[in-house]
Amino acid sequence: MPGRQGSGYDPWDRSSGELLAAANGSGKQRAIPQRPPGMTRVDRPPQTPRVGRPKRQTKPSRSWRRRLLLLVVVFLGCGLLAWGIGYALVNYFIGIGSSTGAANTATDFMLALKSQNYDQAYSDLDAKITILLTEEAFQQMAQLDDHCFGPVTDFNEVSGSAVSSPDNNTQSYTYDITRSKLTKTYQLTLTLQKDPNGNWDITSYGNDLGPSAPTCH
């Protein structure tokens, strides 16, 4: 082909050494460094020893005895707390029941006096009184008070007068009593006691049902 040199001058026929020399501009080929004699030929680079990752130190677990002791303490604490709450609630409701029963008997007695139903009033008395005081004697005493001071027209419990014994077996109530012939009220205190059957009876009403022993006839 026109413009193509002969095979002796073809750039593709030039050796790599000639090309490298031409590229350096020196016209000379660079010498390849020789390996010193006696040096071992290394086919693969030496392996770098890998440093192991430090292991995380775990905290020593608690022994099973310590865990068991902790569980026992927790259960005992919960048991004592539940027992304390239950005991308080039982006493609370027992106290409420006792107060209700005693208050009902005291109110029944006062209503019986107001309506002059002395048989009913006598039935609210405890055996400690009735063994010494007959029903007829109680009726005569009540009628004499009505005659001298006038019948009971009204009664009201004194605020804060209710008193209970530590064992909740005794209760007392104080009432302001109004009678038709008196210009002012007087106070009457009733003491009640619970019998083995759970019934409440009046063990004391003072020396008399009136403000004092009647002197009129």
Give the contacts of 30 (CB within 8 A, at least 6 positions apart): 20, 24
Q: Which helix (H) or strand (E) holds 6?
A: none
125 and 113 in contact (C-beta within 8 Å)?
Answer: no
Closest CA to 114 of 184, 202, 192, 175: 175
21 and 28 in contact (C-beta within 8 Å)?
Answer: yes
pLDDT in tens, the chain (217 residues): 444 444 454 554 455 555 444 545 555 555 666 666 766 666 666 666 666 666 666 655 557 777 777 777 776 777 777 666 654 544 544 444 445 889 999 999 999 999 999 999 999 999 999 999 999 999 999 999 999 999 999 999 999 999 999 988 999 999 999 999 999 999 999 999 998 888 999 999 988 999 988 888 6
Residue 95 has what pLDDT?
46
Full set of structural domains in the chain with CATH = 83-204 (3.10.450.100)
State the residue for tokens 């020593």.
60
Residue 96 has what pLDDT?
44
- Any idea what DSSP says for residue 209? S
Give the integer Cα–Cα distance in Å for 112 and 54. Answer: 94
H helix count then E strand count, the chain: 5, 5
